[in-house]
Amino acid sequence: MNVYAIEVKSLRKSYGAHTVLDGIDLSVMKGTIFALLGPNGAGKTTLIHILSTLSSPDGGSARIVGHDVVTERSAVHGSISLTGQFAAVDEVLTGQENLMMMCRLSGLSATEARTRTAELLKRFELQAAAGKRVKAYSGGMRRRLDLALSLVVPRPVLFLDEPTTGLDTVSRRSLWDIILQLKRQGMTIFLTTQYLEEADQLADEIAVLNKGRIVASGTAEELKARVGGEVIELRNQLDEVLMTIPTSGSLSDVQHSLSEVAAVLPPDARVVIRKPSMDDVFLALTTTTSAEHKEVIHV
């Protein structure tokens, strides 16, 4: 029995002379949350477009719950839900009308549509706003409605392309709770995100995409371990970070690192030593500087 919901092998995609995906390999286990990180333009959205059949690869292969994204498009469509970077809702309609329309378009009868709409309004805490036009919704409410629309017909795999971009902290954490609930119900979730804390909090496995290639993958803790044992933060008197330096954590390494940068720092700079974060991982893996070379990563 195949334990993978998503399998990608040597996937390639170019636009003219520009290579966007340069031989991608990854696999996502069923019932897990997989986060794809990368700077703007790294190819995250392109990969999701290929996996959801919105675009075709130039080479390699990809399968969703066993179905090839090129030769079995209809089967893939029946296996996935997709929520893009921007809420795809009709602002003129109410939240309830948006859900009713999607239910009917998905083949539900009028009775089934009413039942399913009521279920989703309750599940996504939109009952109080059900009769309001969506143009009056907050950003967080729009994203919850957008996610509800994508789940009108439950499917095993959900793609979330930067689902919390632009949301405030409260709305973002509310959406995190919903995503974790979907995972507990057995859904496989593939998300891209700009928020490193989001990947740290949600994902069972994380991959970092840079310049069209997967440069690292693993759990959050495994990726943090690649940065080094400890991270030195150098701050000014306003508590602003001047620079960070990954180290092995040993006394000799810390002393050596500080001696190398002492000449370029103000005399009143403060030293803080902490554990690596996903921000450190992201910087180390997506810039020319690397933790292995113990060079200074400027923030």
Closest C-alpha among 217, 165, 175 to residue 29: 217
> For residues 158 and 193, is the Cβ–Cβ distance under 8 A?
no
Over residues 77-130, the pLDDT tens digits come to: 999 998 876 557 888 999 999 999 999 999 999 999 999 999 999 988 899 999
Q: Enumerate the domain spans of the chain.
A: 4-222, 226-286
- The pTM assigned to this predicted structure is 0.80
Classify domain 4-222 by CATH number: 3.40.50.300
Residues 6 or more apart whose CB falls under 8 angstroms from that of 298 comprise: 243
Confidence category of residue 299, pLDDT binned at 50, 70, 90: very low
Q: Which pLDDT belongs to residue 228?
A: 67
Beta bridge partners of 161: 192
Tokens of 174: 């509310």
- What are the strands of the beta sheet with 213-218, ordered from one edge? 80-83, 157-161, 188-192, 33-37, 205-210, 213-218
Residues ≥6 apart with Cβ < 8 Å to 200: 220, 277, 278
